[in-house]
A and B are shown apart, each in its own frame.
Chain A
Amino acid sequence: MDHFYPNILAGYDEFHGVPGYTIGDPREALGTLWYHDHTLDFTSPNVYRGMAGFYLLFDDLDSGDEHDPNPQALRLPSSPYDYQFIFQDKRFDANGVLTFDQFTPEGVPGDKMTVNGKIEPVLHVARRKYRLRFLNGGPTRFYEFYLVNTGGTASYTFTYIANDGNLLPAPMTDYKVRIGVAERADIVVDFGGFPLGTEFCLVNRLEQPDNRISIPPHERGRKDVYVLGPAESVKVFLRFRDFKGKYPMHCHNLVHEDHAMMVRWDIVD
């Protein structure tokens, strides 16, 4: 993982022993994380080959059990109705062999869209609510996904509940999910109101980045990846609460990362 997460809530020293808290700061809870190859200077070719996966964490609130008897639990749709998607665009040669150009500093957009390593797969769903976890697995392309009918003439709303593994301050109704590389989005889609046999398409409609002037709602919670366009800057609050050590930070256009766009925070006493 890009950030060090020892599977306990951060803020141990402040919260441990405080009545009502077991360990750490509950605001530091995380859910949808991912891990990937991080070979120095060669992250992009390796992640492009598929060396990436989800790392899901659960707690009392987001317990992974939609029948949880705990009254505090959110009872979000749980396995097998909790489904993960890694999106990666890829390019193949005439023989069907995966290709990658290491010389292009901006990266080569793929012409084949894959989900969990398969080109344009189909997921059969039941007529009920699903938790869908989206991850932009890179290496370069951004996405703005819409859930549409097969003709692309209607798009459907859903509930956006978490970004980068952090539950949003409140769930919000939305109709698109825009994710930069390494960014994650958890949405809840209710397929319950549709007739049996209905087909949907998840389509990317992002043609080019727009120049955002305000922080979009899904970026107003805690995050670990920030989308920056040309000439944009961002101020972020970083806190190193528990552990000394080395924390890298890098451009998550993986090709840029491999071209030395990486820095390191060394946290000392």
Chain B
Amino acid sequence: MDGGARATALPNITLYTHEGKAVTFYDDLICGKVVAINMMYAECEGICPIATSNLVRVQELLGECVGRDIFLYALTLQPEIDTPQRLQEYAEMHGVKPGWWFLTGARADIEHLRYRLGFFDLNPVVDGEKATHTGMVRIGNDEYDRWTSASALAKPEQIVATINHVDRSGMRPVGRHSGTLRPAPWHLLSCRARTSAPRPSFLRRASASWALGPLPSSPVGVTLWPKAAPTCRSLAGLCCSLASVWL
């Protein structure tokens, strides 16, 4: 929301990655990032393995952007059983690549986080079923406070499109007075170049007033955006244009 009115502050609890590293949820995993988060547990024989393999396809579509522009997280519903070691085995078994972390932690912390992320059902019986919480992927962009979700079993291209839709890093003002934003030409952008360069300040201002306020009137120089050979994002951009048919 605008200004300091975020009702969506996420807990900064300590979690452990499948590589055994301690991380704080908000500061290390969410702050300023575009993320996709699902819930799973290693011994799940229902939807989890299908969802995980589907998200492996998502990771392949996103390519080298994962771990740089976009971060994938899988949160276990069985923290007592799913140790970092066990999650590592699970990730290896599914061919998970770097940039996607499987996370475990203290039961109370995981439960708190599960509720906070919206992986719950108002009916306590339904809520008690672990499988209830494995069907959706929470997708968001912390910097712009934009959060949504997609079905974990949606077509990988649809999930990528949903991720692209919250990822405003490719948006820039068009013209001095036009008052509209248009997606930047993805084929001109290298995710490496974009993540290493600081985001132009006008975009930060735009983010604070995205939904209602006027857009900044700074003229835009093409040189702000480094040109590079087509990268992983050219595919992601294609998916974005597919998604726009929906609008």
Contacts and interface: CB of A to CB of B under 8 A. Distances in A.
Tell me if chain B binds chain A: yes
Interface residues of B, number: 33
Interface string A43-62: 00110010000000000000
Interface in B111-151: 116-118, 120, 122, 136, 138, 140, 145-151
A99 interface: yes
Contact of A103 (B2, B117, B211): B117
Interface string B85-129: 000000000000000000000000000000011101010000000
A260 B149 contact: yes
Nearest to B161: A40
Contact of A95 (B4, B122, B165): B4
B245 A102 contact: no
Contact of A40 (B1, B5, B117, B243): B243
A101 B140 CA distance: 13
A93 interface: yes
A40 B165 CA distance: 8
A100 B1 contact: yes
Given A102-B145, A246-B245, A41 B118 contact: no
Given A97-B4, A97-B5, A98-B1, A103 B147 contact: yes
B4 A49 contact: no
A264 B4 contact: no
Nearest to B10: A103
A39 B168 CA distance: 14
Contact of A259 (B117, B148, B246): B148
B17 to A, nearest CB: 22
A97 B147 contact: no
B38 interface: no
B148 A41 contact: yes
Contacts of B166: 41
Given A40-B243, A45-B211, A260-B149, A104 B118 contact: yes
Interface centre among B4, B140, B148, by most chain A C-beta atoms within 10 angstroms, is B148
B235 interface: no
B245 A97 contact: no
A258 interface: yes
A91 B1 CA distance: 12
A100 B7 contact: yes
Given A40-B247, A104-B118, A99 B1 contact: yes
A98 B6 CA distance: 9
Contact of A49 (B6, B154, B165, B212): B212
A259 B243 CA distance: 15
B129 to A, nearest CB: 16
A181 to B, nearest CB: 17
Contacts of B212: 49
A98 to B, nearest CB: 6
B229 to A, nearest CB: 30
A259 B136 CA distance: 9
Contacts of B151: 260
B24 interface: no
Contacts of B145: 102
A174 interface: no
A120 interface: no
19 contacts: A39-B247, A91-B7, A93-B5, A97-B1, A99-B5, A99-B6, A99-B7, A100-B7, A101-B7, A102-B8, A102-B145, A103-B117, A103-B118, A103-B138, A248-B246, A258-B149, A260-B136, A260-B150, A264-B246
Interface of B: 1-8, 116-118, 120, 122, 136, 138, 140, 145-151, 154, 162, 165-166, 211-212, 243, 245-247
Given A98-B5, A103-B8, 20 more contacts: A40-B165, A40-B246, A41-B166, A45-B1, A45-B211, A46-B211, A91-B7, A93-B5, A95-B4, A98-B1, A99-B6, A99-B7, A100-B1, A101-B8, A102-B146, A103-B147, A105-B149, A108-B7, A260-B154, A264-B246
